[in-house]
Amino acid sequence: MQTGTLLIAQSIGPRRQPGHPERHRSAAAGCVVFLMLALGAGLLDEAQARRDLLSPEEKNRLKAADRIHLETLALTTEGTTDASGIAAVVSARLTAAGYTVVNDQAQPHDITVKVKCEERKVWEGTARSGGDADLQDSAARLWRGPACQITYRMDGHGSDWRHEVRGDAPGTNPSASAPATGQGGSSAMALLADRLAADPFPLLLAGAWGQPARLLHALEDPASTQAQKLVVIDLLGDMFAVDAIPALSRTLKDRDPALVKRAAQALGAIGHQDGIPVLLALLADQSPDHRLAAIKGLGRLAPLHPNSGIVPALLERLPLEPVPIQTEIVRALGKTPDRRMLDPLRALNRAVQDRARSDSSPELKELKRSLGQALDQFDGTHTDE
């Protein structure tokens, strides 16, 4: 590859002529940029091809997947061990999520889920679909303690989805003290079974497969924990699940401020106009935390729906809020080029500039910085400095 690149550079590069050093440098730089773009385009196409492990038809079938063939494997430092405890826990979790689990590959099934648990996880290299550092649930390559890796495949095709459930850090796990007796491996598997019993992997699978109905059932299930509901809300937002807007709107009335905050952010992430009225109503709530959550959600919706009432509502709240919430309002307004905010933000900026001469609090500095960023998109001449 290096030789080929060198030959191309020599063939297309200009001959040096005395008296024109700037021209030589400019032409050489152009050749380098051309080669980088050409090679980068080829690598991008290849990486994209490697990520498409499932066909469009298989991806559509994932959305309707119900029957799961479960494969489990348990490995200790002494070799393969009984995986029935792991299988029982995983099967119970998937069944609770509404899936039908089969253990015989000959039985009809839509998808195969594999759970491999190890007393000492070995390094497996990168995923075959390309780089995995940016994947939300990618395995930690440096982890050497007990861990279970969960993957799935359809019709013999693997996927780029991996989720890792870990035990204790190496050196803190009781299994490290007695590997030669066989008790260490049993302790590690028992620990991993406990972690699998609490891990949200069934919800993550439903999100990866594009099944919002299962997630909505978990969100409104009284038996779901707060942690599970938070995972569900984030997944629904990431999936742009418009069907989840009614359920998320009801969550805004929950007494748990963490759920309200995540639901408001998810409504903003979904980006649909039906989320605007409930967030505008939340903006008038007496709780500062609720108003702050509404502002963050509206900030994501404002540039998508410029003709809505978001900008006027935020401008109305601006002078009524304390400095930290004013900062969030300014950040939200700064995401839209709506010129209606110019005069109010300039007036606030002048007041902040005057106040900053005697007040050096971090909150006021952050408001000042946010005002500068919001106004810079118009003329860049907003300050007196």
pLDDT in tens, 137-152: 566 667 788 999 999 9
Question: Does residue 232 register a pLDDT over 60?
Answer: yes
User: Residue 296: which domain range?
Assistant: 211-376
pLDDT digits (tens, 9 = 90+) for 329-385: 999 999 999 999 999 999 999 999 999 999 899 999 999 999 999 999 886 554 444
User: How far, in Å, CA of 234 to CA of 162, rounded?
Assistant: 18
Question: Does residue 41 register a pLDDT over 80?
Answer: no
pLDDT digits (tens, 9 = 90+) for 82-133: 999 999 999 999 999 999 999 899 999 999 999 999 999 876 656 555 445 4
Which pTM does this prediction carry? 0.77
Specify whether 222 is located in the same domain as 318.
yes
Let me know: does 82 contact 64? Beta carbons within 8 Å. no
Residue with tokens 């509502």: 313
pLDDT at 55: 81
β-bridge partners, 154:
157
Residue 25 within any structural domain of the chain: no
Specify whether 112 is located in the same domain as 225.
no
CA geometry: angle 11, 13, 14, nearest 5 deg: 120
- Please identify, among 205, 233, 267, the residue that sits at the C-terminal boundary of a domain: 205
- For residue 123 the two structure tokens come to 């390094």
Specify whether 199 is located in the same domain as 254.
no
Residue 65 within any structural domain of the chain: yes
pLDDT at 141: 67
Number of structural domains (the chain) is 2
Specify whether 201 is located in the same domain as 66.
yes
pLDDT at 45: 40
Q: Is 113 helix (H, G, I), strand (E, B) or coil?
A: strand
Question: Does residue 311 register a pLDDT over 50?
Answer: yes
Report phi then psi at 320, rounded to 5. -90, -10
Specify whether 74 is located in the same domain as 194.
yes
- For residue 193 the two structure tokens come to 């079974």
Question: Does residue 33 register a pLDDT over 60?
Answer: no
pLDDT at 180: 40
- Give burial (CB, 10 Å; 0-12/13-18/19+) of 270: buried
Q: What is the DSSP letter of 71?
A: E
Q: What is the mean pLDDT of residues 195-202?
A: 96
